[in-house]
Structures are given as C-alpha cells and as structure tokens.
Amino acid sequence: MNKKNIIIIGATSGIGRALFEKYAAEGNRIGIVGRRTHLLDELRQEHPDTTVVATADITKQDETAQAIDALRAELKDIDLAIVCSGTGDINASLDYALERPTIDTNVTGWTFVIDKLYHIFEQQGHGHLVAITSAGGLRGEPMAPAYSASKAYQINYMEALRKKAYKSGNHIHVTDIRPGLVDTAMAKGEGLFWVMPVEKVSDQIISAIRRQKSKAYVTKRWHVLAIINKNLPFAIYKRI
Ligand SMILES: NC(=O)c1ccc[n+]([C@@H]2O[C@H](COP(=O)([O-])OP(=O)(O)OC[C@H]3O[C@@H](n4cnc5c(N)ncnc54)[C@H](OP(=O)(O)O)[C@@H]3O)[C@@H](O)[C@H]2O)c1
C-alpha cells in the first residue's frame, strides 16, 4: 500500500485519535493538531519517525495557520487532511455562554481550517479533504441548538466545496463523514441509543475515505435513521 502524507486536525482524542492510530500503524506520515500538547506528544512517542505535531486552538487563526504551515513544511505534499476538531454542549436553556464556543469552534474556526486546507490542495493541484460533520446536522435539535446548526453549516459547506472541486477540474476530493452517536467524550446527554464504538466507526471512516465517497454515515445503520429523520414532516418531528 502506498504511504500517504496525512494531516489530522483534532487528533488528541476520540475519532481523530483512532484515525491517527490506524493510519500511523500502516506507516503513513502524519501531522497532528490539537490544543492538548501532552496528548500530541504521547502520540508522537508511539510513532516518532512518522509523526509531527503542532499545538493549536482552531479558534485562534494565527496559531492555526502557523501549525498547519509547520506541518506542511515537514510533510511537504499533503495527500489527505481530516478535520475532526469540534465541540458542543447540551443547552436546552439557550445559555449563550455555552452556544458561543460551539459557534467559535465548529463554524468560525472550522471554516478557517477547511479553507486553508482547500487552498493548499488548490496549490498542489490535488488532495483529499475530509470533515467529520454529524448526522445531528440534518435537523434542528432543541437540546443542542448551536451544535445541530453548526453541523448543518458544515454539511452545506462541504457540499459547496465538493461542487467547487468538481467544477475546478482539479484532482481534489471532498468527503463529508456524518457519524451518528459515537462512544467518545462528545456523546453527551441522557438516554443515548445506538452509541457506536470508536473502533468500528473509525474503520468505516477509513473505508469511506479510501473509496473517495462524497458523504458517508457511520456506522451504516445510522444511514437508515438519518433518512427517516431528514424526511419526517415537522408536524411529527416536533412531537418526538
Ligand atoms: N461522538 C459523537 O457522538 C459524534 C457524533 C457526530 C459527530 N461527531 C463529531 O466528531 C468530531 C470528533 O469528536 P469526538 O467524538 O472524537 O470527540 P472528542 O474526543 O471530544 O474529540 C474532539 C477533538 O476536537 C479537538 N478540539 C476541540 N476543540 C478544539 C479547538 N478549539 N482547537 C483544536 N482542536 C479542538 C480536541 O482536541 P483538544 O481538546 O486537544 O484541542 C479533540 O481532539 C467532532 O467534530 C464531533 O462533532 C461526534
């Protein structure tokens, strides 16, 4: 298998970390970003010859630009970039102090990262851009309004880039991964169901990336729920 140069934004835990572990085990060269430097260093120690790290908070543009530039300087050509960074809170009371970090991270910071990576791929003339959005972005969710709205934003943004890439004629691929519930720190709330193990989710993400899917629900059973949820008339949706 050809070794790739990969960037993972948000690799310190959960889905991003699992993707790092799997891609690193295949011998790929990987640049990883997150705010928690000690966790980045821990991952580098696992694969010291093939891992480069850069600490950044994606809500801080200068820091983020420097981190991505530093990784690019080390890795040179980037084949694949996966944006996992994200946050969200249960916020039924509409506390703005809770909504704000979600918007800053999942909308403002995320857009900066995605655009920067897309520009790199334009310069290179090729690359595969992947974002972990969410099946939760298909409908407005009153328990987490900013989170569900931010994921709807990401879904539309990825579609825009997919169309842009198609029209440009560049060899740029754009993949939108939409997990259902995954057993990570992010899965919050009572009575969660169909919470999928990170192992299974990350395997299915890697398979979707390999097949250059335009979008994929993970795990696959979440695709069924997503179709039902998306097509449910509001008159019914508002009652459940
Ligand atoms: N778990 C689920 O049920 C679920 C479902 C659908 C979609 N997703 C999406 O999957 C993605 C990964 O989440 P996860 O489930 O793996 O949760 P997680 O374990 O909490 O991982 C979140 C990752 O995002 C990084 N991050 C958060 N804020 C950041 C910031 N300001 N700057 C840089 N990095 C930041 C974290 O790193 P640092 O803390 O080190 O910065 C961490 O690596 C998220 O986009 C999430 O919305 C998750």
pLDDT tens, position by position, for the chain (240 residues)? 789 999 999 999 999 999 999 999 999 999 999 999 999 999 999 999 999 999 999 999 999 999 999 999 999 999 999 999 999 999 999 999 999 999 999 999 999 999 999 999 999 999 999 999 999 999 999 999 999 999 999 999 999 999 999 999 889 999 999 999 999 998 877 778 889 999 999 999 999 999 999 999 999 999 999 999 999 999 999 998
Query: Which residues does 223 contact at the CB level (< 8 Å), separation at least 6?
Result: 217
Residue minimizing CA distance to atom 47 of ligand 1: 86
Q: Which atom of ligand 1 is nearest to the CA of 195?
A: 3
Print the domain residue range for 48.
Answer: 5-237
| pLDDT given for residue 191 in this prediction | 72
- Residue whose C-alpha is closest to residue 5's, from 81, 64, 56, 62: 81
Nearest to 154 by CA among 139, 173, 134: 134
Task: Please give the pLDDT value at position 14.
Answer: 98
Active site residue 166: no
CA angle centred on 203, ends 43 and 67, rounded to 5°: 35
pLDDT on residue 176:
98
| CB 113 near ligand 1, within 6 Å | no
Question: For position 152, what pLDDT does the model report?
Answer: 98
The pLDDT value recorded for residue 3 is 95
State the closest ligand 1 atom to the C-alpha of 57, by its place in the atom list counted from 1: 32
Angle at CA of residue 114, ends 156 and 126, nearest 5°:
105
**Closest ligand 1 atom, residue 106 Cα:** 45
pLDDT of residue 222: 93
Q: Which of 23, 147, 157, 217 is catalytic?
A: 147
How high is the pLDDT of residue 161?
98
pTM for this model (two decimals) = 0.98
Beta strands in the chain (DSSP E): 5-9, 29-34, 51-55, 80-83, 126-132, 171-179, 215-218
Number of domains comprising the chain: 1
CATH value at residue 124 = 3.40.50.720
Do you find a cis peptide bond into 219, omega within 30 degrees of 0? Answer: yes
